[in-house]
Structure 1
Amino acid sequence: MWKYYALLSAFFAALTAILAKMGIKGISGNIATAIRTIVILFVAWGIVLATGEIKALKTLTKNNLLFLILSGIATGLSWIFYFKALETGDVSKVAPIDKLSVAIAIGLAFLILKEPVDIKTITGAGLIVAGTLVLIW
């Protein structure tokens, strides 16, 4: 099932880039990020309320909160820089370079989370890095 969710994530990430580029015309990336964040806030909490998962708030630990807060900060910074790149760059170049995050995540998962990597994963990450270098040059 996770593969379907991952494919949907990829589709909506691609759609996000197109819609963001269309919406950012004439405004700053910071304003765009703030508006997008408000929308996500309402959508995420709407889903939590609609599914009854609000009860799970009681089970959060300090560790959960710490890492979710840090993740939120990292997400915010990612979005801010993404929109700054979209302000002047083409989606066809910005979005693929942004996806270098996949190769970085693989490396960090190996180093920090001690997740195993196989030759397919290493090859895929290498191809992503190579593709990013082609786009940059």
Structure 2
Amino acid sequence: MWLVFALLSAIFAALTSILAKMGIDGVNSNLATAIRTVVVVIMAWGMVFLTNTQSGISEISKKSWVFLILSGLATGASWLCYYRALQMGDVSKVVPIDKLSIVLTMILAFFLLHEQFTVKSLVGCILIGIGTFVMVI
């Protein structure tokens, strides 16, 4: 089931880039990010209440709160930079560079989470890097 959600995530991420580029014309990138964020917040809390999981908020540990807040700050910084890059550049160049996050995530997962880094994942990282370079030059 995770694969279905991962594929849906990729589809929605692709739509995000195209729709954002279409909507950001003549709009300050920070304002556009704020509007997008409000929509995301409404959707996320809507899902919490729809699935009746709001009572779980009191069970979140302090450690989880810290890391969730840090993750939110990283997401916000990423979105602000992403929208600014979209406003200034072509989607076909911005998105591949943004997706270098895959390579960075795998490296960080190896060092911080002690996940395995196999020959297959190394080859994948190298190919993503080469592919990004080819698409951007």
TM-score, normalised on structure 2?
A: 0.97
State the Cα distance separating 1:78 from its structure 2 match: 0.3
1:81 aligns with 2:78: no
C-alpha distance in structure 1 between counterparts of 2:91 and 2:7, whole Å: 20
In the alignment, the residues of structure 2 paired with residue 90 and residue 97 of structure 1 have an alpha-carbon distance, to the nearest angstrom, of 11
Q: Letter of the 1:31 partner, please give it.
A: L
Partners in 1 of 2:25 and 2:105 — Cα distance? 31
Identical-pair percentage: 53
Q: Deviations over 1:65-95 (max 9, x none)?
A: 0000000000000000000100111111111
| Residue-pair matches, total | 137
Matched, 1:92 2:92: yes
Preserved CA contact (<8 Å) 2:96 2:136: no
Deviation at residue 48 of structure 1 after TM alignment? 0.2
What's the offset of the Cα at 1:109?
A: 0.2
Matched, 1:105 2:86: no
Aligned equivalent of 1:36: 36
Cα distance in structure 2, aligned partners of 1:78 and 1:115: 24
Aligned residue runs from structure 1 range 126-137, under 5 A? 126-137=126-137
Give 5+ residue unaligned stretches, structure 2.
none
Q: CA RMSD in A?
A: 0.9
Larger deviation, residues 118-127 vs 63-72: 118-127
Distance 1:29 1:56 in 2: 34
- Given the two structures, how large is their TM-score scaled by the length of structure 1? 0.97
Structure 1 counterpart of 2:102, one-letter code: V
Q: Could you say what secondary structure the match of 1:36 adopts? A: helix
Counterparts of 1:103 and 1:120 in 2: how far apart (Å)? Answer: 13
Distance 2:14 2:97 in 1: 13
Distance (whole Å) between structure 2 residues aligned to residue 23 and residue 136 of structure 1: 23
CA contact (8 A) 2:85 2:94 kept: yes
Name the structure 1 match of 2:51.
Answer: 51
Question: Counterpart of 1:11?
Answer: 11
5+ residue gaps, structure 1: none
